[in-house]
Amino acid sequence: MKRTVAFSRDAVNVFFHILTGCNLRCRHCCINPDQHGRNQLPIEVIENWLGAFSGKAGAANVIFLGGEPTLHPELAAAVRRARALGYQSVTIDTNGYLFNDILDRVTPAEVDYFSFSLDGATRRTNDEIRGEGVYDTCLSGIRKARARGFEVSLIYTVSALNIHELESMAPILADLGVERFFIQVIGIRGKSAEGSHHLQVPRERWLSVVPPVAERIADMGITVTYPKVFLAPDEPFLCAGLCAENYFIFPNGRVYRCPLCEDFPYHALAFEADRLVSTPRLNESDFFQLRIPEGCVMNRLVQPDNLAYGEDGRPLYQIACCMLKEEVFKG
C-alpha cells in the first residue's frame, strides 16, 4: 500500500540538535555552525527545552540529532527525561559510531529507534561521501544495536553522487534486519550550499528511480518513506509551516519550523533564558503565507535547480513542501 503522509496537528515532531560537533565531515552535511552554534548543550538546558513542548508531549515525537548525538555524554539522561515528560516516541539519529557506550546506557523500552545514516550500497560510494571507514563502522553499529534488541531504521540521502546505488540497498536492508527505510532528498544547505556541487537529482531521474525502488523494498516487508518533492498537476501545494507542528531546535537557541530556512536567521522561534518565544518579523512564518506558481517559496529561493520552466516562463510543475512524504508498506 502507498499513502501520502498528510500534515497533521495531532502529531508534534521535535528534531533536537543537542550539539553540532561530529566526528565526520560528510560532503552533504546540513549543519551550518555560523547559524546553528558550535556549543554542546548542558543536560539541564536539554531537559528544560524538552519541557517547553511538554504540553504537547502526549502526541510528540523527539528525534535527537547532532552533529553526532552519541558524542554527547548525557544523551542517555536526555532520553530518560523525554520519556518522563511523556513523549510518544524517542529516536536517536546516528552515523553508527555509537559513542559513550550508548547501547549499554539505554534500553529498547526507552529508545524506539536507532536511525542510522548510510549513503551508498557499496563501501566506495558511501565512504567517498561520508569518510573512510564509515561504511563498515555503520553496518557494524546496526548489527550491534539489533543484537541488543533495538529496532533500527536506515536513512539514505539521495543525491547525484549515489542515486545509482539506491536499488542495491534492498539486500543490505534485508540482511541487517532494518524495519524502516527513509529515503531523503539532498538539501542545498550547509556544506551542499558551498560552491556549485550540482548534487540535486533531476525530476525525471528522481521519478524513474525513487518510487519504483521504494515499492520493491516495501514488497520485502520494510516500510519505506520518501519525500514527495515533485507534485503531480492535480495536487495542491500545502506548507507544513501552516498545517503541522515540526520544530527544529539548535544549540544556539534557534527553533525553525522549516528545514530549508536553516542556513539563514529566519527562525520563527527561539529560546531566551530557557523560554520559547516568537522572533520579530521578518521570519519564516511570513514566508509560509506566500503563494507562488513554483509551490514552495523557500525551494524557489535557496535551491531552484530542481525547477523547470516552459517557453512562456511558467513553471512546468510545483515543488512540494519538504515535509510531505510518501509512505509505502506491505498490507
> Which helix H or strand E contains 246, and what residues bound it?
strand 245-249
| Full-model pTM | 0.96
Q: Which of 114, 215, 199 is nearest to 157 (CA)?
A: 199
Q: What is the pLDDT of residue 198?
A: 82
What is the spatial distance between Cα 113 and Cα 79, in angstroms, rounded to a whole number?
12
Q: What is the pLDDT of residue 93?
A: 98
Q: What is the pLDDT of residue 195?
A: 64
What is the spatial distance between Cα 119 and Cα 99, in angstroms, rounded to a whole number?
20
Q: How far is CA 175 from the centre of its chain?
A: 24
Ranges of each domain in the chain: 2-328
What is the spatial distance between Cα 121 and Cα 213, in angstroms, rounded to a whole number?
13
Dmax (CA) for the chain in angstroms is 61
Q: In order along the chain (331 residues), what is the average pLDDT of each group of 10 residues? A: 71 95 95 96 98 80 97 98 95 98 98 98 98 98 98 97 98 97 94 78 97 97 96 93 95 97 97 96 96 97 94 97 93 68
CATH for 2-328 (3.40.430.10, 1.10.8.640, 3.50.50.60, 3.20.20.70): 3.20.20.70
- H/E/C letters for each residue in 81-130? HHHHCCCCEEEEEECCCCCCCHHHHCCCCCCCEEEEECCCCCHHHHHHHH
Total Cβ atoms within 10 A of residue 197: 16
Burial 24-43 (b: 16+ CB within 10 A, else e): bebbbbbbbeebbbeebbeb
